[in-house]
């Protein structure tokens, strides 16, 4: 059964920590190094920190907006812009969240195809994964939250395996510090922010949090954990590979697993990629849930029908996208929409909301 907005079905504030981290840590962790080191090189660790702080600032702005209205983004936009304009902008958010799910699933399938099973049946793999997503999303937001909790805790052991390459790392590669221009650092920050995207689903599930104002610190801590994970993996990558080697690694994080040696397993990347499914599953589920809930609120449709339509679109687009170029184009489109919505539109909407609130307060004081 699909959840209703009742107090009994709300989640505790601390669980936002797991939701934020679960939606940020996905496919991007496996190959972000090549993208940001292209411009910033060994100074990329500064880029990770700067991007994380910028995302934390946007989360703070989101809470300013949400705490003022005590509603989700669909209702807020209807209040500010009216029914038609507000609903149109909400559709853009819905398309963006759906794109997150599509890009995450398609990139994961590509990794499985390249690293494990070159002859994998994409149609069957996508269908099985989407059935699993439907099962989780149809359980309601609390089930999606529980999946996010498990998706952070259970596969966390994977990050300890990145300690193996330290034996062969040369951390002098981090020196000299600040040997790249501000322009290069800025371009890298833009590319790095893409790795943090997905946190905007907070705008949709805010009403499902008990005492939502108390959840703000947990949202920031979830983002902080994401930043630490990115920083940890990046520093090891810089120490283990040269810059030229990283430029040839599409999935540098997976390449680090090649050095892992255990008595009971020869190819640890097989275990890592398989375990990563539990990391991307809540990522996709939360994106699908946000899209479903948004359409339900705009058109007042039954959520069961909406989620079937959403997952059908996800399936069709996933299997239709073929080849690295098409996947890269889809990822780039999603990233561009996410950057515009998160880092341009959200601050602008927060400012408009503040000004309207101030104007209404002024009129009320004059009236009294």
pLDDT tens digits, 231-285: 999 999 999 998 888 888 889 999 999 888 777 777 888 889 999 999 999 999 9
User: Which pLDDT tens digit goes with each residue over 115-152?
Assistant: 988 999 999 999 999 999 999 999 999 999 999 999 99
pTM attached to this predicted model: 0.93
Nearest one of 42, 259, 29, 267 to 165, comparing CA atoms: 259
Q: Three-state DSSP class for 72?
A: coil
Rounded distance between C-alpha atoms, residue 255 and residue 315, angstroms? 29
What residues contact residue 63 under an 8 Å CB cut-off, 6+ apart? 213, 216, 219
Rounded distance between C-alpha atoms, residue 210 and residue 6, angstroms? 10
The encoded tokens of residue 184 equal 């290069």
Which domains does the chain show, CATH number per domain?
7-358 (1.20.1740.10)
Q: Say what the pLDDT of residue 260 is.
A: 83
**Residue 5, pLDDT above cutoff 70:** no
User: Which pLDDT tens digit goes with each residue over 196-225?
Assistant: 988 999 999 999 999 999 999 999 999 999
User: Which pLDDT tens digit goes with each residue over 47-73?
Assistant: 999 999 999 999 999 999 999 999 999
| CB 151 within 8 Å of CB 22 | yes
What residues contact residue 133 under an 8 Å CB cut-off, 6+ apart? 101, 281, 284, 285, 288, 311, 314
């Amino acid at each position: 059964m699909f959840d209703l907005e009742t107090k009994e079905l709300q989640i505790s504030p601390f669980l936002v920590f797991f939701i934020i981290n679960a939606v940020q840590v996905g496919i991007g962790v496996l190959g972000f190094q090549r993208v940001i080191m292209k411009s910033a090189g060994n100074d990329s660790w500064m880029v990770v920190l700067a991007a994380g702080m910028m995302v934390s600032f946007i989360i703070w702005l989101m809470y300013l907006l949400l705490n003022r209205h005590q509603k989700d983004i669909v209702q807020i936009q209807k209040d500010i812009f009216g029914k038609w304009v507000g609903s149109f902008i909400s559709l853009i958010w819905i398309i963006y969240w759906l794109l997150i799910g599509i890009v995450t699933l398609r990139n994961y399938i590509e990794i499985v195809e390249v690293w494990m099973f070159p002859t994998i049946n994409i149609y069957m793999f996508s269908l099985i994964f989407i059935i699993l997503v439907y099962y989780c999303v149809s359980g309601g937001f609390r089930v999606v939250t529980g999946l996010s909790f498990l998706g952070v805790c259970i596969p966390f052991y994977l990050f300890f395996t990145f300690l193996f390459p330290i034996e062969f790392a040369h951390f002098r590669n981090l020196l000299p510090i600040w040997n790249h221009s501000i322009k290069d650092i800025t371009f890298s920050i833009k590319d790095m922010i893409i790795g943090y995207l997905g946190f905007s689903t907070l705008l949709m599930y805010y009403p499902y949090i008990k005492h939502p104002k108390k959840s703000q610190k947990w949202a920031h801590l979830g983002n902080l954990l994401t930043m630490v994970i990115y920083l940890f993996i990046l520093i090891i990558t810089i120490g283990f590979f040269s810059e030229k080697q990283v430029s040839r690694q599409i999935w540098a994080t997976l390449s680090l697993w090649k050095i892992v040696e255990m008595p009971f397993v020869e190819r640890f990347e097989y275990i890592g990629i398989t375990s990563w499914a539990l990391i991307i599953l809540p990522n996709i589920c939360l994106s699908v849930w946000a899209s479903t809930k948004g359409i339900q609120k705009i058109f007042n449709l039954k959520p069961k029908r909406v989620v079937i339509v959403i997952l059908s679109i996800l399936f069709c687009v996933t299997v239709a996208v073929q080849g690295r170029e098409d996947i890269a184009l889809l990822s780039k489109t999603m990233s561009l929409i996410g950057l515009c919505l998160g880092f341009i539109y959200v601050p602008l909407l927060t400012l408009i909301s503040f000004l309207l609130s101030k104007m209404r307060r002024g009129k009320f004081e004059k009236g009294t």
